[in-house]
Protein backbone atom coordinates (compact mmCIF):
# COMPACT_ATOMS: atom_id res chain seq x y z
CA UNK A 1 0.00 0.00 0.00
CA UNK A 2 2.84 2.42 0.78
CA UNK A 3 4.16 1.87 -2.76
CA UNK A 4 0.75 2.56 -4.26
CA UNK A 5 0.54 5.95 -2.54
CA UNK A 6 3.90 6.94 -4.03
CA UNK A 7 2.94 5.75 -7.47
CA UNK A 8 -0.34 7.63 -7.27
CA UNK A 9 1.54 10.87 -6.74
CA UNK A 10 3.60 10.21 -9.87
CA UNK A 11 0.43 9.70 -11.92
CA UNK A 12 -0.94 13.02 -10.73
CA UNK A 13 1.71 14.84 -12.82
CA UNK A 14 -0.01 13.86 -16.10
CA UNK A 15 -2.54 16.13 -17.83
CA UNK A 16 -5.66 16.55 -15.74
CA UNK A 17 -9.30 17.23 -16.57
CA UNK A 18 -11.33 18.86 -13.81
CA UNK A 19 -14.47 17.43 -15.40
CA UNK A 20 -14.66 14.50 -17.83
CA UNK A 21 -15.46 15.07 -21.49
CA UNK A 22 -19.04 13.80 -21.61
CA UNK A 23 -20.28 16.18 -24.30
CA UNK A 24 -21.40 19.02 -22.07
CA UNK A 25 -19.37 21.60 -24.02
CA UNK A 26 -20.95 20.42 -27.27
CA UNK A 27 -24.49 20.79 -25.91
CA UNK A 28 -24.23 23.67 -23.42
CA UNK A 29 -21.04 25.43 -24.52
CA UNK A 30 -22.95 28.46 -25.82
CA UNK A 31 -24.35 29.27 -22.34
CA UNK A 32 -23.48 32.98 -21.80
CA UNK A 33 -20.89 33.75 -19.15
CA UNK A 34 -22.66 34.71 -15.93
CA UNK A 35 -25.70 32.58 -16.77
CA UNK A 36 -26.78 29.09 -15.76
CA UNK A 37 -28.00 26.45 -18.20
CA UNK A 38 -31.41 24.98 -17.50
CA UNK A 39 -31.26 22.71 -14.46
CA UNK A 40 -32.86 19.81 -16.34
CA UNK A 41 -29.89 19.79 -18.72
CA UNK A 42 -27.44 18.78 -15.98
CA UNK A 43 -27.05 15.03 -15.83
CA UNK A 44 -24.46 14.39 -13.09
CA UNK A 45 -22.45 15.96 -10.28
CA UNK A 46 -19.51 17.16 -12.46
CA UNK A 47 -21.96 19.24 -14.51
CA UNK A 48 -22.62 21.51 -11.53
CA UNK A 49 -18.92 22.39 -11.36
CA UNK A 50 -18.97 23.18 -15.09
CA UNK A 51 -22.05 25.39 -14.70
CA UNK A 52 -20.79 27.16 -11.57
CA UNK A 53 -17.44 28.02 -13.16
CA UNK A 54 -19.25 29.94 -15.89
CA UNK A 55 -21.84 31.50 -13.58
CA UNK A 56 -19.89 32.56 -10.47
CA UNK A 57 -17.29 35.31 -10.41
CA UNK A 58 -13.73 34.01 -10.56
CA UNK A 59 -12.82 34.64 -6.92
CA UNK A 60 -15.96 32.99 -5.50
CA UNK A 61 -15.58 29.95 -7.74
CA UNK A 62 -11.91 29.70 -6.79
CA UNK A 63 -12.76 29.64 -3.09
CA UNK A 64 -14.70 26.40 -3.62
CA UNK A 65 -12.41 24.91 -6.25
CA UNK A 66 -8.90 25.56 -4.89
CA UNK A 67 -6.50 22.97 -3.53
CA UNK A 68 -3.19 23.15 -1.70
CA UNK A 69 0.11 23.96 -3.44
CA UNK A 70 0.26 22.22 -6.86
CA UNK A 71 -3.12 20.59 -6.19
CA UNK A 72 -1.79 17.06 -6.61
CA UNK A 73 -3.96 15.81 -3.74
CA UNK A 74 -7.01 17.56 -5.18
CA UNK A 75 -6.39 15.77 -8.48
CA UNK A 76 -5.62 12.46 -6.81
CA UNK A 77 -8.87 12.61 -4.83
CA UNK A 78 -10.74 12.63 -8.13
CA UNK A 79 -8.54 10.17 -9.97
CA UNK A 80 -8.02 7.52 -7.29
CA UNK A 81 -11.47 6.00 -7.82
CA UNK A 82 -10.67 5.29 -11.46
CA UNK A 83 -7.59 3.28 -10.57
CA UNK A 84 -9.61 0.57 -8.83
CA UNK A 85 -11.85 -1.75 -10.83
CA UNK A 86 -15.09 -3.41 -9.82
CA UNK A 87 -15.65 -7.17 -9.82
CA UNK A 88 -19.29 -7.33 -10.96
CA UNK A 89 -21.60 -10.31 -10.41
CA UNK A 90 -24.37 -11.28 -12.79
CA UNK A 91 -27.60 -13.28 -12.71
CA UNK A 92 -28.70 -11.55 -9.49
CA UNK A 93 -32.16 -10.11 -8.77
CA UNK A 94 -31.46 -6.39 -8.37
CA UNK A 95 -35.00 -5.09 -8.82
CA UNK A 96 -35.34 -3.94 -5.21
CA UNK A 97 -31.98 -2.25 -4.76
CA UNK A 98 -33.47 1.26 -4.55
CA UNK A 99 -35.26 0.24 -1.37
CA UNK A 100 -31.95 -0.73 0.28
CA UNK A 101 -30.07 2.61 0.15
CA UNK A 102 -30.93 3.69 3.69
CA UNK A 103 -28.28 3.82 6.39
CA UNK A 104 -27.77 4.98 9.97
CA UNK A 105 -25.20 7.51 11.14
CA UNK A 106 -24.60 7.56 14.90
CA UNK A 107 -27.96 5.86 15.31
CA UNK A 108 -29.92 8.33 13.16
CA UNK A 109 -31.62 6.93 10.07
CA UNK A 110 -31.25 8.49 6.63
CA UNK A 111 -32.43 7.61 3.13
CA UNK A 112 -28.98 7.16 1.58
CA UNK A 113 -25.38 6.37 2.58
CA UNK A 114 -24.08 9.86 1.83
CA UNK A 115 -24.30 13.30 3.42
CA UNK A 116 -23.52 16.95 2.70
CA UNK A 117 -20.03 17.65 4.04
CA UNK A 118 -19.19 20.84 5.92
CA UNK A 119 -18.13 23.55 3.45
CA UNK A 120 -17.70 27.22 4.28
CA UNK A 121 -19.38 30.25 2.71
CA UNK A 122 -22.37 28.84 0.87
CA UNK A 123 -23.41 32.45 0.35
CA UNK A 124 -20.83 32.78 -2.42
CA UNK A 125 -23.09 30.65 -4.63
CA UNK A 126 -26.57 31.81 -3.60
CA UNK A 127 -28.08 34.55 -1.40
CA UNK A 128 -29.94 31.98 0.69
CA UNK A 129 -26.62 30.29 1.41
CA UNK A 130 -26.82 27.36 3.86
CA UNK A 131 -30.61 27.59 4.09
CA UNK A 132 -30.78 25.85 0.72
CA UNK A 133 -28.59 22.99 1.94
CA UNK A 134 -30.68 22.55 5.09
CA UNK A 135 -33.93 22.47 3.12
CA UNK A 136 -32.68 20.14 0.38
CA UNK A 137 -31.20 17.73 2.95
CA UNK A 138 -34.54 17.67 4.76
CA UNK A 139 -36.54 17.06 1.58
CA UNK A 140 -34.24 14.20 0.57
CA UNK A 141 -33.76 12.85 4.10
CA UNK A 142 -29.97 12.97 4.21
CA UNK A 143 -27.60 14.40 6.80
CA UNK A 144 -26.19 17.91 6.47
CA UNK A 145 -23.19 19.08 8.51
CA UNK A 146 -22.91 22.89 8.43
CA UNK A 147 -19.46 24.46 8.64
CA UNK A 148 -18.53 26.70 11.55
CA UNK A 149 -17.38 29.18 8.88
CA UNK A 150 -20.75 29.23 7.15
CA UNK A 151 -22.12 32.39 5.56
CA UNK A 152 -25.04 32.24 8.00
CA UNK A 153 -24.85 32.06 11.78
CA UNK A 154 -25.62 28.86 13.63
CA UNK A 155 -28.91 30.40 14.76
CA UNK A 156 -29.91 31.26 11.19
CA UNK A 157 -29.08 27.77 9.98
CA UNK A 158 -31.06 26.16 12.79
CA UNK A 159 -34.01 28.43 11.98
CA UNK A 160 -34.12 26.97 8.45
CA UNK A 161 -35.03 23.54 9.81
CA UNK A 162 -38.71 22.50 9.81
CA UNK A 163 -40.62 23.48 12.92
CA UNK A 164 -41.52 19.86 13.70
CA UNK A 165 -37.96 19.28 14.94
CA UNK A 166 -37.50 16.14 12.87
CA UNK A 167 -34.39 17.13 10.93
CA UNK A 168 -31.00 15.91 12.16
CA UNK A 169 -28.00 18.20 11.71
CA UNK A 170 -24.47 17.80 13.04
CA UNK A 171 -22.28 20.87 13.63
CA UNK A 172 -18.71 21.10 12.34
CA UNK A 173 -16.26 22.97 14.57
CA UNK A 174 -12.74 24.35 14.52
CA UNK A 175 -11.30 24.77 18.00
CA UNK A 176 -8.37 26.41 19.75
CA UNK A 177 -7.12 26.55 23.34
CA UNK A 178 -9.83 28.98 24.50
CA UNK A 179 -11.82 26.56 26.67
CA UNK A 180 -14.43 29.15 27.62
CA UNK A 181 -15.27 29.90 23.99
CA UNK A 182 -15.26 26.19 23.20
CA UNK A 183 -17.72 25.39 25.98
CA UNK A 184 -19.99 28.21 24.83
CA UNK A 185 -19.86 26.92 21.25
CA UNK A 186 -20.69 23.37 22.35
CA UNK A 187 -23.59 24.59 24.48
CA UNK A 188 -24.94 26.70 21.65
CA UNK A 189 -24.79 23.82 19.18
CA UNK A 190 -26.67 21.57 21.60
CA UNK A 191 -29.26 24.24 22.40
CA UNK A 192 -29.91 24.73 18.67
CA UNK A 193 -30.56 21.02 18.25
CA UNK A 194 -27.33 19.68 16.75
CA UNK A 195 -27.07 15.96 17.44
CA UNK A 196 -23.28 15.69 17.16
CA UNK A 197 -20.15 17.79 16.79
CA UNK A 198 -17.68 17.20 13.97
CA UNK A 199 -14.20 18.32 15.04
CA UNK A 200 -11.93 19.05 12.07
CA UNK A 201 -8.36 18.09 13.01
CA UNK A 202 -6.57 18.14 9.65
CA UNK A 203 -6.28 21.93 9.58
CA UNK A 204 -3.74 22.44 12.35
CA UNK A 205 -2.20 25.20 10.22
CA UNK A 206 -3.39 27.26 7.28
CA UNK A 207 -3.00 25.55 3.89
CA UNK A 208 -0.59 26.72 1.18
CA UNK A 209 -3.40 27.51 -1.27
CA UNK A 210 -1.65 29.22 -4.16
CA UNK A 211 -4.66 29.34 -6.48
CA UNK A 212 -6.77 30.91 -3.73
CA UNK A 213 -4.10 33.45 -2.80
CA UNK A 214 -4.16 34.86 -6.33
CA UNK A 215 -7.75 35.93 -5.66
CA UNK A 216 -7.24 36.83 -1.99
CA UNK A 217 -9.52 33.90 -1.07
CA UNK A 218 -7.30 32.03 1.36
CA UNK A 219 -8.17 29.71 4.21
CA UNK A 220 -10.61 30.90 6.85
CA UNK A 221 -8.43 29.28 9.54
CA UNK A 222 -4.83 30.47 9.34
CA UNK A 223 -3.33 30.03 12.82
CA UNK A 224 -1.31 27.14 14.18
CA UNK A 225 -3.76 25.24 16.35
CA UNK A 226 -3.29 23.18 19.49
CA UNK A 227 -4.79 19.76 18.71
CA UNK A 228 -3.71 16.64 20.65
CA UNK A 229 -5.35 13.43 21.83
CA UNK A 230 -5.23 14.70 25.41
CA UNK A 231 -7.07 17.80 24.24
CA UNK A 232 -9.70 15.60 22.61
CA UNK A 233 -10.17 13.78 25.94
CA UNK A 234 -10.79 17.14 27.60
CA UNK A 235 -13.30 18.11 24.92
CA UNK A 236 -15.30 14.98 25.66
CA UNK A 237 -15.85 16.24 29.21
CA UNK A 238 -17.21 19.57 27.98
CA UNK A 239 -20.36 18.30 26.26
CA UNK A 240 -22.75 15.38 26.20
CA UNK A 241 -22.81 15.47 22.39
CA UNK A 242 -20.74 12.87 20.53
CA UNK A 243 -17.62 14.40 18.95
CA UNK A 244 -16.76 12.93 15.55
CA UNK A 245 -13.14 13.39 14.42
CA UNK A 246 -12.81 14.67 10.85
CA UNK A 247 -9.53 14.52 8.96
CA UNK A 248 -8.07 11.09 9.73
CA UNK A 249 -5.50 9.98 7.13
CA UNK A 250 -3.89 6.84 8.54
CA UNK A 251 -4.71 3.52 10.12
CA UNK A 252 -2.64 4.51 13.16
CA UNK A 253 -4.91 7.45 13.92
CA UNK A 254 -8.06 5.36 13.53
CA UNK A 255 -6.63 3.00 16.15
CA UNK A 256 -5.99 5.97 18.45
CA UNK A 257 -9.53 7.22 17.87
CA UNK A 258 -10.85 3.86 19.02
CA UNK A 259 -8.59 3.97 22.09
CA UNK A 260 -9.94 7.43 22.94
CA UNK A 261 -13.54 6.28 22.54
CA UNK A 262 -14.40 8.51 19.60
CA UNK A 263 -17.87 7.59 18.27
CA UNK A 264 -16.81 7.97 14.63
CA UNK A 265 -14.10 9.29 12.33
CA UNK A 266 -14.13 10.82 8.87
CA UNK A 267 -11.35 9.80 6.50
CA UNK A 268 -10.47 13.03 4.72
CA UNK A 269 -7.62 15.20 3.48
CA UNK A 270 -9.66 18.41 3.67
CA UNK A 271 -10.61 18.17 0.01
CA UNK A 272 -6.93 18.37 -0.94
CA UNK A 273 -6.92 21.94 0.42
CA UNK A 274 -4.41 21.80 3.29
CA UNK A 275 -1.53 19.34 2.85
CA UNK A 276 -0.57 18.48 -0.70
CA UNK A 277 0.50 14.83 -1.25
CA UNK A 278 -1.87 13.68 1.48
CA UNK A 279 -3.71 10.45 0.52
CA UNK A 280 -7.21 10.27 -0.87
CA UNK A 281 -9.97 8.84 1.34
CA UNK A 282 -10.15 5.74 -0.85
CA UNK A 283 -6.44 5.06 -0.31
CA UNK A 284 -6.87 5.56 3.44
CA UNK A 285 -9.85 3.18 3.51
CA UNK A 286 -7.83 0.61 1.58
CA UNK A 287 -4.95 0.93 4.05
CA UNK A 288 -7.34 0.28 6.94
CA UNK A 289 -8.86 -2.71 5.17
CA UNK A 290 -5.45 -4.22 4.43
CA UNK A 291 -3.81 -3.54 7.80
CA UNK A 292 -6.63 -3.53 10.37
CA UNK A 293 -10.03 -4.42 8.87
CA UNK A 294 -11.47 -5.01 12.34
CA UNK A 295 -11.52 -1.24 12.84
CA UNK A 296 -14.55 -0.97 10.56
CA UNK A 297 -16.45 -2.94 13.21
CA UNK A 298 -15.04 -1.06 16.21
CA UNK A 299 -15.96 2.47 15.17
CA UNK A 300 -18.17 4.13 12.57
CA UNK A 301 -15.96 5.23 9.69
CA UNK A 302 -17.09 7.80 7.14
CA UNK A 303 -15.09 9.33 4.27
CA UNK A 304 -15.14 12.40 2.06
CA UNK A 305 -13.09 13.76 -0.82
CA UNK A 306 -13.31 13.58 -4.62
CA UNK A 307 -16.62 11.71 -4.81
CA UNK A 308 -18.44 12.57 -8.04
CA UNK A 309 -20.25 9.35 -9.03
CA UNK A 310 -22.35 6.62 -7.55
CA UNK A 311 -19.51 4.24 -8.40
CA UNK A 312 -17.16 6.24 -6.16
CA UNK A 313 -19.57 5.83 -3.25
CA UNK A 314 -19.82 2.09 -3.89
CA UNK A 315 -16.05 1.60 -3.77
CA UNK A 316 -15.84 3.27 -0.35
CA UNK A 317 -18.82 1.32 0.96
CA UNK A 318 -17.31 -1.94 -0.32
CA UNK A 319 -14.21 -1.42 1.83
CA UNK A 320 -16.29 -0.85 4.97
CA UNK A 321 -17.02 2.89 5.03
CA UNK A 322 -20.49 3.49 6.50
CA UNK A 323 -21.35 6.84 4.88
CA UNK A 324 -19.73 9.12 2.32
CA UNK A 325 -19.49 12.91 2.43
CA UNK A 326 -19.79 15.13 -0.64
CA UNK A 327 -18.84 18.80 -0.49
CA UNK A 328 -17.97 20.80 -3.60
CA UNK A 329 -20.67 19.33 -5.92
CA UNK A 330 -23.45 20.41 -3.56
CA UNK A 331 -21.89 23.86 -3.13
CA UNK A 332 -21.86 24.23 -6.91
CA UNK A 333 -25.41 22.88 -7.14
CA UNK A 334 -26.41 25.61 -4.70
CA UNK A 335 -26.06 28.13 -7.54
CA UNK A 336 -29.52 26.83 -8.50
CA UNK A 337 -30.86 27.11 -4.96
CA UNK A 338 -32.79 24.40 -3.15
CA UNK A 339 -33.94 22.76 -6.38
CA UNK A 340 -30.37 22.40 -7.61
CA UNK A 341 -29.09 20.79 -4.41
CA UNK A 342 -32.13 18.53 -4.26
CA UNK A 343 -31.68 17.40 -7.86
CA UNK A 344 -28.00 16.66 -7.28
CA UNK A 345 -28.93 14.50 -4.28
CA UNK A 346 -31.54 12.66 -6.34
CA UNK A 347 -29.06 12.07 -9.16
CA UNK A 348 -26.48 10.60 -6.80
CA UNK A 349 -29.08 8.32 -5.21
CA UNK A 350 -30.06 7.11 -8.66
CA UNK A 351 -26.45 6.52 -9.68
CA UNK A 352 -25.73 4.49 -6.56
CA UNK A 353 -28.77 2.30 -7.21
CA UNK A 354 -28.07 1.84 -10.94
CA UNK A 355 -24.37 1.18 -10.48
CA UNK A 356 -25.12 -1.13 -7.57
CA UNK A 357 -27.54 -3.06 -9.75
CA UNK A 358 -24.99 -3.37 -12.53
CA UNK A 359 -22.48 -4.51 -9.92
CA UNK A 360 -24.83 -7.37 -9.08
CA UNK A 361 -26.10 -6.14 -5.73
CA UNK A 362 -29.66 -6.99 -4.83
CA UNK A 363 -29.16 -5.34 -1.45
CA UNK A 364 -26.72 -2.46 -1.05
CA UNK A 365 -26.11 -3.40 2.58
CA UNK A 366 -24.50 -6.65 1.41
CA UNK A 367 -21.69 -4.90 -0.45
CA UNK A 368 -18.23 -6.07 0.65
CA UNK A 369 -14.59 -5.97 -0.49
CA UNK A 370 -15.10 -8.89 -2.90
CA UNK A 371 -16.86 -6.47 -5.27
CA UNK A 372 -13.70 -4.39 -5.80
CA UNK A 373 -10.30 -5.36 -7.15
CA UNK A 374 -7.80 -4.27 -4.51
CA UNK A 375 -4.96 -3.86 -7.03
CA UNK A 376 -4.56 -0.44 -8.61
CA UNK A 377 -4.79 -0.39 -12.42
CA UNK A 378 -2.04 2.06 -13.32
CA UNK A 379 -1.80 1.11 -16.98
CA UNK A 380 -5.37 1.98 -17.82
CA UNK A 381 -5.63 5.17 -15.79
CA UNK A 382 -4.26 7.59 -18.37
CA UNK A 383 -6.52 6.23 -21.11
CA UNK A 384 -9.59 6.55 -18.88
CA UNK A 385 -9.04 10.14 -17.81
CA UNK A 386 -7.46 11.70 -20.86
Q: pLDDT confidence of 374, banded at 50, 70, 90? A: confident
Residue 57 burial by CB count (10 A; 0-12/13-18/19+): exposed, middle or buried?
exposed
Which domains does the chain carry? 97-371 (3.20.20.70)
Q: pLDDT confidence of 273, banded at 50, 70, 90? A: confident
Q: Do 63 and 350 meet the contact criterion of CB atoms below 8 Å apart?
A: no
Share of the chain above pLDDT 70, in %: 88
Catalytic residue numbers read 270
**Average model confidence (pLDDT) for the chain?**
90
Q: pLDDT confidence of 10, banded at 50, 70, 90? A: very low
pLDDT of 163 strictly over 60:
yes
Instruction: Write out the binding residues.
Output: 63, 118-120, 147, 172, 174, 200, 209, 246, 268, 270, 273, 304-308, 327-328
pLDDT at 67: 77
Find, among 321, 297, 201, the residue nearest to 249 by Cα. Answer: 201
Is this structure's pTM higher than 0.85?
yes
pLDDT of 150 strictly over 80:
yes
pLDDT at 235: 97
Find, among 229, 254, 290, the residue nearest to 5 by Cα. Answer: 290
Q: pLDDT confidence of 287, banded at 50, 70, 90? A: very high
Instruction: Write out the binding residues for FMN.
Output: 118-120, 147, 172, 200, 246, 268, 304-308, 327-328
Q: Do 65 and 58 meet the contact criterion of CB atoms below 8 Å apart?
A: no
- Tens-place pLDDT, residues 306-363: 999 999 999 999 999 999 999 999 999 999 999 999 999 999 999 999 999 999 999 9
Q: Do 374 and 68 meet the contact criterion of CB atoms below 8 Å apart?
A: no
Q: pLDDT confidence of 137, banded at 50, 70, 90? A: very high
> Left, alpha or beta for 34 (phi > 0: left; psi -120 to 50: alpha)?
left
Find, among 143, 134, 82, 136, the residue nearest to 114 by Cα. Answer: 143
Amino acid sequence: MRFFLFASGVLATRPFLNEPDTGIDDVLGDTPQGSLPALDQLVGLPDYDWAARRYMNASSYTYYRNGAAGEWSYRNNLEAYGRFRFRPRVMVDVTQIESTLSTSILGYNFSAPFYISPCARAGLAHPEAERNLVKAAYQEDILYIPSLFASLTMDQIAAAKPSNGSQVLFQQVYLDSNDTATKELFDQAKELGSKALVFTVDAAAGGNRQRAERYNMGSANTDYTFITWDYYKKLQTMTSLPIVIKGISSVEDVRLAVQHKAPAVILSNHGGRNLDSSPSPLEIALEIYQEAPELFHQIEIYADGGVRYGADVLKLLALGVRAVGIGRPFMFANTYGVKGVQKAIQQLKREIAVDGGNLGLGDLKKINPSYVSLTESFGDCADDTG
